[in-house]
Homo-oligomer: A and B are copies of this chain.
Amino acid sequence: PKSAGRTATGERPSKADTLTIAEKDALTKQESGITEQSPMRLRMEAFIKQYQKEIVAALEKVDGKPFLVDSWDRPEGGGGISCVLQDGNVFEKAGVNISVVYGRLPRAAIAKMRVNHKALDPDVDSLEFFAAGLSMVLHPSNPMAPTVHLNYRYFETADEAGNSNAWWYGGGCDLTPCYLFDEDAIHFHNTIKAACDKHDKAYYPRFKKWCDEYFSNTHRGETRGVGGIFFDDLDETEKDQEQLFAFVQDCLGAFLPSYIPIINRRKDMPFTEHEKQWQQLRRGRYVEFNLVHDRGTAFGLNAPGARVESILMSLPLTARWQYMHSPVQGTREERLLDVLKRPKEWV
């Protein structure tokens, strides 16, 4: 790798554009800190770092136990902070993770991404890229309390001169109950819809549908849960960068109000051994989706130098698979499956 952007004599090279974006960002942080004038990479990094702290603090208040905080560096560039709570009072397993990655995309990956981003140069062997995201999965112990997943990310590529080239946002948030309380699904969707509506009235219906389609165990003909929103590849063909950043900030900001009231009313509900077993079977379906269908998990596991423990943090503490299990007619278990087979409009 190049030195940190300085020559052997300590002078900065005369052409600043011989620096990689990783080197440029390191210099900016050191020399001027992060402001609203900083590149989006640094603003997104600062935003998810601050928001990770807020979420962890709020969840610690709900659970009563502290998260374990694990910082790690990626040998290839960048790093992350994994906050994990295992065997808590409320959460069986909770992970709130941020990662900030600088690296190079090989030709094959560029070709794939070019389908959605024409700005990408098809005639290079590799491209420098930046990716920053916050991802979270919370699995509560109580089978009446739903699992929730959230991920928001920003992606950018740079040309050889270190100038940013293509960029886009992706992410979403979705709810996976074992026992369905309609009021929870309605509250969750309403809160997210309000955040979307501030930016574009078309966003919620469009991204709600995308979520139902993406989080689907197609081999079982069931969605993973009762949905939420999901989107990817939002770039300048959608809205300008400031507008999309504001949208993603509002989506992330909607998370605590969407989920905290739900977990508070479900975490101490009484439940039976039978209900706990049904939760374990549903956890098995969660594992199936994440390992068989989720593109992010597959991409992560196949990336060289991947931090497997942070990627698989999304898996529940325990799960169960029973041959030919089928819920009894007329039960709440059967009603859940009906809704997963035919996704509902909640607002």
Contact = CB atoms under 8 A, between A and B. Distances in A.
Given A313-B323, A317-B320, 15 more contacts: A70-B324, A84-B323, A86-B322, A86-B323, A93-B323, A219-B302, A219-B306, A292-B298, A309-B323, A315-B321, A316-B321, A317-B322, A318-B320, A318-B321, A319-B321
Contacts of A291: 287-288, 291-292
A95 interface: yes
B86 A308 contact: no
Interface in A275-308: 280, 284, 287-288, 291-292, 298, 301-302, 306, 308
Contacts of A220: 308
Interface in A239-295: 280, 284, 287-288, 291-292
A312 interface: yes
B322 A319 contact: no
* A: contact size bracket: 20 to 34
9 contacts: A82-B323, A95-B323, A287-B287, A288-B291, A288-B312, A292-B301, A316-B321, A318-B321, A319-B319
Most buried by B among A298, A313, A321, A324: A321
A82 to B, nearest CB: 8
Nearest to A290: B291
Contacts of A93: 321, 323
Contacts of A312: 288, 321
Interface string A63-83: 000001010000000000010
A112 B129 CA distance: 32
Nearest to A313: B323
Contacts of A95: 323
A84 B298 CA distance: 31
Interface of A: 68, 70, 82, 84, 86, 93, 95, 219-220, 280, 284, 287-288, 291-292, 298, 301-302, 306, 308-309, 312-313, 315-324
B70 A219 contact: no
Given A220-B308, A291-B292, A284 B323 contact: no
B284 A315 contact: yes
Given A84-B323, A291-B288, A291-B292, A318 B219 contact: no
Contacts of A317: 320-322
A344 B70 CA distance: 34
B306 A324 contact: no
A58 to B, nearest CB: 20
A153 B324 CA distance: 24
A7 to B, nearest CB: 39
Contacts of A292: 291-292, 298, 301
Contacts of A68: 323
Nearest to A323: B84
A312 B323 CA distance: 8
Nearest to A298: B292
Q: Give the one of A220, A298, A312 with max B CB within 10 A.
A: A312
Contacts of A318: 280, 318-321
A287 B313 CA distance: 15
